[in-house]
Amino acid sequence: TQLLEQSPQFLSIQEGENLTVYCNSSSVFSSLQWYRQEPGEGPVLLVTVVTGGEVKKLKRLTFQFGDARKDSSLHITAAQTGDTGLYLCAGDDSSNTGKLIFGQGTTLQVKP
Amino acid sequence: GAGVSQTPSNKVTEKGKYVELRCDPISGHTALYWYRQSLGQGPEFLIYFQGTGAADDSGLPNDRFFAVRPEGSVSTLKIQRTERGDSAVYLCASSLDSNYGYTFGSGTRLTVV
């Protein structure tokens, strides 16, 4: 069974601080996605990484896919209150159906 | 439509009742997925449609759950004899095909009392 473990599960920081969220597995994934979800809404796709060692940047967010394609990280520089939300990583399972396996999520609270 | 539409947004039902949850995907998206999200957890896969057929229903928890997509567009998730443990947010997502990223709807929050 493929599982994704996210850490930390909850993070509360002050505006302007940096943070990193980790997503780990013992399984290899062909691709990995990061989503952000706000209360009462569905997850919104931030990025997809497909190549081992790949780094993608989205403004203040930096996403990295591990060399072995078993883990990923999301780093936010100079967090803003608007970054508050639930961050989810999701791996493409091996069935080639587009089915995703999600981590349990990291709840980020950025205080002014 | 511009996005994935799910109705109702909230549903409260009594234990033992039957419920239907509707998903209207983005026009032209052939792949449609249902997920269930419990409080404080990530979404869990329920079922995947490619066109009209259920290509993978391995995530449906038991035979009380059933989903259809008769014309390859709108899908309905049906839950019979609801139980309190069925309470969760039911999310629908669609994509152009299984190789593309998803667009999720806002979900239906189901509460079984």
All residues of chain A having their beta carbon less than 8 Å from the beta carbon of residue B31 are 98
pLDDT recorded at residue A2: 78
Residue A106, beta-bridge partner list: A87
Task: State which residue of chain B sits closest to A92, comparing Cα positions.
Answer: B99
With respect to residue A24, please indicate whether it lies within any of the assigned structural domains.
Answer: yes
Percent pLDDT > 90 in chain A is: 88
CB contact under 8 A, A100 and B40: no
Question: In 3-state terms, what secondary structure has residue A83?
Answer: helix
The domain total for chain B is 1
Q: Is residue A7 part of a domain?
A: no
Is the C-alpha dihedral spanning A12, A14, A15, A17 positive or negative?
A: negative
Name which of B23, B37, B44 to mutate to probe chain A: the one with the most chain A Cβ atoms within 10 A of its Cβ: B37
CATH assignment of the domain containing A75: 2.60.40.10
Q: What's the number of domains chain A is made of?
A: 1
Contacts of B32 in chain A (CB under 8 A): none
Residues B92 and B6: beta-carbon distance below 8 Å = yes
Phi, psi of B6 (to 5 degrees): -120, 135
- The confidence score (pLDDT) of residue A81 equals 97
Nearest CA in chain A to B97: A98
A88/B101 Cβ within 8 A? no
- Chain A, nearest residue to B98 by Cα: A98
> Smallest Cβ distance to B55: which of A40, A88, A97?
A97
8 Å CB contact between A109 and A84 = yes
3-state secondary structure of A81: helix
Look up the domain containing A20 and give its range. 13-89+97-111
C-alpha to C-alpha distance for B1 and B28, rounded to whole angstroms: 10
pLDDT in tens, B26-49: 999 999 999 999 998 999 999 999
Measured in angstroms, the CA of B48 and the nearest CA of chain A are apart by 7
> Pick from B3, B100, B110, B2: which is nearest to B46 by CA?
B110
Residue of B nearest to A90 (CA): B42
Looking up residue B24, the CATH number of its domain turns out to be 2.60.40.10
Show the domain range for B19: 5-112
Interchain proximity B31–A88, CB inside 8 Å = no
Shortest Cα distance, chain B CAs vs residue A106, angstroms: 9
The string of pLDDT tens digits covering residues A25-43 is: 999 998 999 999 999 999 9
**Among A100, A104, A106, the residue to mutate for chain B (most B Cβ within 10 A):** A100
Write down the pLDDT at residue A97. Answer: 78
Please state, in angstroms and rounded to a whole number, the distance separating the CA atoms of residues A89 and A97: 18
* Inter-chain touch B101–A99, beta carbons under 8 Å: no
Q: Which two tokens stand for residue A24?
A: 């780990």
Q: What is the pLDDT of residues B53-109, one digit of tens each?
A: 998 999 999 999 999 999 999 999 999 999 999 999 999 999 987 667 789 999 999
3-state SS assignment for residue B84: helix
